[in-house]
Amino acid sequence: MKPINFSSFYPDFFVERLENKCIKCKICVKECTYEVHTWDEKKKILKEDHGKCVGCHRCEAMCPTDAIIIKRHPSQFREHHLWNPYFIKNIYKQADKGGVLLSSTGCDLPLKIYFDHLVIDACQVTNPPIDPLREPMELRTYIGSKPEKLEVEKTETGYKLKKALPPLIKLEMPIIFSGMSYGSISLHIHQGLAHAAKELGILYNTGEGGLHSSLYEYKDHIVVQCASGRFGVNVDYLDAGVAIEIKIGQGAKPGIGGHLPGEKVNEEISKTRMIPLGTDALSPAPHHDIYSIEDLKGLIYALKEATDYKKPVFVKVAAVNNIAAIASGIVRAGADAVVIDGVRGGTGAAPTMFRQYVGIPIELAISAVDKRLREEGIRHKTTLIASGGIRCSADVVKAIALGADLVAIGTPLLIAVGCTLCQRCYTGKCPWGIATNNPELIKRLPPEVVYEKVYNLMNGWKSEIKEMLGAMGLNSIESLRSNRDKLRAIGLTKEEMEILEVKHAGE
């Protein structure tokens, strides 16, 4: 008996071709990696298989005569508030194939977005706003552990430091790039991002896929990640950047390890990761040498030892229920920076149930952690990096006012290079040439384009952050840090405002 696939009956998208505009150039056939468009040689017509379309809009964008429109499929189920089509279709999929549902990018549920319930202050009359075009406006930020106080001694001409500061990394703006592994996204993206990080004076993160040899030249702007799979980790790798990030977890899938589907493991990737060609790269849920906070301390100091105490060590964790206590433990274990990744944090591949339902929003997490570290008097010992769900420069400003030192971003960078958030990165077929390693596909996005787009985006955000700071009467980013007075809440409960430590608008 022929197998029945219920999931194939009900397409998500509808590919509309305007016959009066279509010139039968067949570009769509070439551009769509999901084989939606086909050319019928006999009948000399173009056909479309709606069921295969993931809604990436590549064909629509590339069609020279604008003859294609990608829409939601109009076919509808009878309304049911509980059993909406999303759940129905997921059940069909699992009934057809078994297994775990996969998704990409971050949680797409309509959970409350706290950033959108916070508004920013500005000066009026009693203190003057500062014009960033006319006055210096400083965004410089340092990552690393800082002493509580300075000791100085007199010299003939003035004063000097008694003891040099521990290793710090200087950034020209309070944003760094999140770890996205080589493998989950193309080499071109890594090359473009590393280049942009260098020009912007910030940091690019290797992710857990190791470091491709073409990237060694960006040494001063690289954070190398050491995740549970330890792919590509050796002493040269640890030495290849200015900081090392131990990845314990990520917001898109707290509690489980990374997953790079075998389809994406080609020769270059297998070399960089030091794994066989075509095999799934699965990182274990825990690091097999970390089963407690003492073990984390052990690893932090092993990495510091291996690199002569010259590089700050970051620890990245997903924002989960007890994040404040967890972060405090991580700081006490010696982390020079803690990256906290909220529930909205993106991924190349995650089990849908994790992406959607595990973890807490970054806004609440960062505020709670900042507060806890202050209460314990250890806030200066670490740098707090907020990530997961930052969409624009105002979100950056809000995250810093909520207690972060800086933010890390991933998804905005991919959108900057064409990602349409079709959320099918795990297939390895990304028609935009982003989440793929197919040698033909990655040509669609050369490193120079990645560099330029990302550079432009970051420059835009930089100007906006300066404008917002100036409007608040500040000329240096450190005066925004933890400055909850610059925020007001709209439509939040007392409890939420208490956690965020903000007052309601009008108060």
Name the one range near other proteins by CB under 8 A: 32-40, 70-78, 374-382, 432-440: 374-382
Residue 138 sits in the site that holds other proteins (CB under 8 A) = yes
Is 332 a binder of other proteins (CB under 8 A)?
no
Pick one of other proteins, ligand SF4, none as the site partner of residue 127 (Cβ within 5 to 8 A by kind): other proteins
Find the part of the chain contacting other proteins (CB under 8 A) among 138-146, 232-240, 283-291, 441-449: 138-146
Residue 188 interacts, among ligand SF4, other proteins, none and using kind-specific CB cut-offs from 5 to 8 Å, with none
SS3 367: helix
Distance CA 24, CA 17 (A): 11
The C-alpha atoms of residue 387 and residue 345 are separated, in whole angstroms, by 7
DSSP code for 410: S
Q: Which does 105 bind (CB under 5 to 8 A by kind): ligand SF4, other proteins, none?
A: ligand SF4
31 lines the binding site for ligand SF4 (CB under 6 A):
yes
Which of these ranges, 141-149, 328-336, 384-392, 432-440, lies near ligand SF4 under the rule CB under 6 A? 432-440
CA atoms of 147 and 477, how far apart (whole Å) = 19
Strands (DSSP E) contained in 5-109 are 13-17, 37-40, 45-48, 68-72, 102-103
Does the protein bind other proteins through residue 52 (CB under 8 A)? no
Q: Is 434 in the site for ligand SF4 (CB under 6 A)?
A: yes
**Comparison of 399 and 434: residue with beta carbon closer to ligand SF4:** 434
Q: How far apart are CA 452 and CA 458, in angstroms?
A: 10
Question: Rounded distance, CA 162 to CA 31, Å?
Answer: 63
CB nearer to other proteins: give 118 or 187. Answer: 118
Tell me how far the alpha carbon of residue 489 is from its chain's centroid.
25
**Residue type at position 115:** F
422 binds, among ligand SF4, other proteins, none (CB under 5 to 8 A by kind): ligand SF4
Name every residue whose Cβ is closer than 8 Å to that of residue 2 and which is 6 or more positions away in sequence: none
Quote the CA–CA distance of 181 and 183 in Å, as a whole number: 6
How far is CA 386 from each of CA 297, 362, 369, rounded to the nearest angstrom?
A: 22, 7, 10
Give yes or no for residue 350 binding ligand SF4 (CB under 6 A). Answer: no
Q: Is 116 in the site for other proteins (CB under 8 A)?
A: no
The rounded distance, in Å, linking the Cα atoms of 475 and 129 is: 9
Q: In this complex, which beta carbon is closest to ligand SF4, that of residue 388 or of residue 431?
A: 431
Amino acid at 202: I
Instruction: Show the binding pattern over residues 389-428: x = contacts ligand SF4 (CB under 6 A), - = does not.
Output: -------------------------x----xxxxxxx---
Binding site for other proteins (CB under 8 A): 123, 126-128, 130, 135-136, 138, 140, 142, 146-152, 154-155, 158-161, 164-165, 168, 374, 377, 379-380, 401, 472-476, 478-486, 503, 507
